[in-house]
Amino acid sequence: MNLTLSRSGAAIALCAATLLTLSACSDDSKDSAESTTSAEESTSGEATPADLDVRVEDLMLPESDFPGTGTYVVKDKAAIDADKSNDPEVTPANCAAIVDKEDGTDEFDRARVEFDMEDGTSIETQVILGETSDLDTVASQVEDCPAMTMRGPLDSGGQLVAEMENSVEDVDGSTVPAKTIISTGTATVSGQTLPLTIRSTGAYVDGTTVSVQITLTGENAANWSDSDQAILVDLLNKQIAVVQDAAAA
């Protein structure tokens, strides 16, 4: 993977990267999902969590699917919820709609892979059972939040401040319709400021949210090649296929 990051930059990225997901964006998201008539939702609403007779952790991609070498960890819902205690504050308030901590999905079972590569790249894949919306809603909410600030405490006692600009784009090559939320800016910790990019790509399939996130920092935060995009789409399609196979079983 052609993304070379310093270890110090990776540490800041992992502190700053609140999970931006393609997710229901308020506590009443289920109602809005039921009322929409978009093609994406009609397709994804064919299955419910009860139809997927499998532990969500068992739906996660194996380490062998990830590029290069790194540290591979699978987190269940309890571990993910525990991590939320350190989530940063997000302003303005409407931007919480595209940040995982305020998206109203706590009721849904979920699991996540965290893959921290030796070069400092951070990759996360996530499956949220039963959580679905439509891609037009995602695009609208990103457009309503062109810029945001994330502030949060660090274990060292300091504070991280990330100033980010947001955009959204369609994804070519995905097996179901998908979008990418791109959040770019800077992260500042203890007077040190580094560029930061978070690319979160996701789709709705069989009553489930599937997403892949890649976090970059340092001088390479602005470098995103076709081969990097191909890796992201490949991970997304593999995760989609796992969910589709479980729904068909």
For each of the domains in the chain, give its residue range(s) and CATH number, in order of start: 7-248 (3.40.1000)
**144 phi/psi in degrees, rounded to 5:** -75, -10
161-193 per-position pLDDT tens digit: 889 999 999 999 999 999 999 999 998 877 888
- Residue with the bigger pLDDT between 106 and 23: it is 106
Report whether 148 contacts 140 (CB < 8 A).
no
Are 200 and 19 a contacting pair, CB within 8 Å? yes
Which amino acid does the sequence have at 24? A
pLDDT digits (tens, 9 = 90+) for 226-237: 989 999 999 999
Element (H, E) at 113: strand 110-117
- The more confident residue out of 195 and 133 is 195
pLDDT of residue 2: 32
Mean pLDDT of the chain: 77
Distance from C-alpha of 121 to C-alpha of 10, rounded to nearest angstrom:
7
| SS3 assignment, position 16 | helix
- Does the pLDDT of residue 54 top 90, yes or no? no
Greater model confidence, 185 or 2:
185
Token digits of residue 44? 């994804």
Tokens of 141: 């909410």
Query: Residue 105: what pLDDT?
Result: 56
Other Cβ atoms closer than 10 A to 30? 18
CB 217 within 8 A of CB 193: no
H/E stretch holding 116 reads strand 110-117
Cα–Cα dist 132/146, whole Å = 23
Residue showing tokens 């052609």: 2
